Amino acid sequence: MRMIGIKEAVQAALCFAQELYGLQDAERLTLEEVEPTDDERFWMVTLGIPAAVQPVELIARRTGAERYKVFKVDAETGQVLSMKMRQAA
C-alpha cells in the first residue's frame, strides 16, 4: 500500500481550497501546519485563507484578516475528506 507524502497532501489541500473558493491560483493561501494523525492514516493540513476570499457558492458573514481551515487528507488516496475551521491561538 503506497502512502502519499507531505508534499502530495499539501497539494491536495491547496487544490481543494482553490476549487472551493474559486481561486485561479494558490498564492493567496498560506500553509500554516501539516502533521500526520497518530495512526498515520491521514494528513492534517492547515491553510490560512484571507477573510476576503469566500466560497464560490456561500456568503461569509465573518470578519477578520485571515481564517484558518484544517483539511483532512487520506494518506492512501490523497482525497480531501473534510475541512474544518481552526481557531487561531
Checking if the pLDDT of 64 tops 60, the result is: no
- Position 14 scores a pLDDT of 95
Checking if the pLDDT of 63 tops 90, the result is: no
- Position 52 scores a pLDDT of 67
Q: What percent of the chain has pLDDT over 70?
A: 76
- Position 60 scores a pLDDT of 44
Instruction: Using DSSP, state whether 33 is helix, strand or coil.
Output: strand
Q: Which three cell numbers stand for residue 37?
A: 494523525
What angle is formed at CA 34 by the lines to CA 31 and CA 36, rounded to 5 degrees? 165
Question: With contact defined as beta carbons under 8 Å apart, do 69 and 49 qualify?
Answer: yes
pTM: 0.80
